[in-house]
Structure 1
Amino acid sequence: MTERTQVMTAWTVGKVAETFGVTVRTLHHYDDIGLLRPSERTSAGYRIYTDADLQRLQQIVVYRRLEMPLEEITELLDGDSDPAEHLRRQRATVMSRLGELNDLVQAIDRALEKEMSDEKLSPSDLKELFGDGFEESYQTEAEERWGDSEAWAQSQRRTANYTRADWEAVKAENDALNKAFIDAWDSGLPATSEQAMAAAEMHRASVQRFYDCDYGMQRCLADMFVQDERFAKTYNDMRDGLAQYVRDAIYANAGRKDDGERYGNFNS
């Protein structure tokens, strides 16, 4: 066995995961979709990563930190093998994000001025605060679909006097909720696990900030996460397949809370 082969033998899937903080599940997923496949094998047939594979992994991780979808990363890496070009592209993206963050700071400052003078945040103020997480057209569509429902009326009453601090709490809750689902996913836990179902319960609690949400209602919301491509994209941009995972976790949690009753027949 050559010295080079001995070095490569150290870079098994488990070793790469341990050294670089990428989960084994993620590495297997990259392998399955052809984004990053170990290039060599040991004499015993175990697949191992080369230095070139690890360089490609570094590029993938940076692009993912920039929230780029895996499909686009694949196209970029397969279309251009020059590491320097990828670094230039990544730097340009980061500089663009810095500009966006500067704009966000200014938006927060303007909102803070309004908060100090007891002005209610406008839809454009909320858009600046939440970024792509707030889309005014969604508000219009939601009113058209559910404007006559009690849930809509409750939501309007509860948010009518929300302050900036309230909306910041909403955003913090949403970020923590997404992290809970992602942590369960990255840990390789099934949607039926305690951790995933605990995240599902967090989701129901966050919805109840706006309107009463029993488990039957939550299941309806969960179906939208996979049926509506906009909701699905929001989750799947965080982790491929996360929308279905969230839906399944909500169903699993609702099922165990149901205690044999039909969904939606209780309001605990």
Structure 2
Amino acid sequence: MRDRADEGWKIGQLAERTGLTVRTLHHYDHLGLVRPSRRTSAGHRRYDEADVRRLYQVLALRQLGLPLESIGDVLAGTSSVEALLARHRSYLDQQLVAVRTLRAQVATTLAALRDAEGASVTDFLELIRKVTTVDDAVKKHFSDEQLATLAERREQLGEQAIKEVEASWPRLIARVQAAVDAGTDPASAEGRELGREWMGLLERFHGGDQGLKDSLYQMQAVNAEQIEATYGGPTRAQIEFISRATAANS
């Protein structure tokens, strides 16, 4: 690999050994990341053992996805590698959540498009808008991680199931209100059945995830008036009825 044992590696030899390009090694030299310990009288770069070890340190950190500027700080001792990796892990976590959400949205849209043969481009774009748009009220009460989970649940359930659930809520709310108006005991067979249906529809949303359930209840509590005006419920009386019916089912 060397011309002579004491001459070190030429840049082309080092590029071949590491799988890098000569251009990349020039760039590392320019940034001060890996500079050859000496040059020949003709100006050619020569890398010694210490240079090669440093290069492999750069490559190891680069393999973790760290930017070159941060790698330079670590090797210079001006930045803690532990702190840097912790920040980088947080960044990667955010990227993973974003990719999960995007993948679920793409899969949901693709499945819906396959079921919508003959639809116009305008219909397609409206479908994409519906799948990818998240209401501001939802964003306030659900974390990015939870939104990714919800996007994945929507993909798993499918658009037809989503439509069925959305259509079921107004009918169920009306039945609960009728029971309230009639003075039905929430602990009765009818009341307990309404409670089971109610909780079943909610579970289609949260899938048994306690965090999603808590965020859903919080969103409903904060936006109760708006939700009631838009969807006709649930009112406080309806929620009280369902709470007592659910307790009776426990």
Q: TM-score, normalised by structure 1?
A: 0.37
Q: TM-score, normalised by structure 2?
A: 0.39
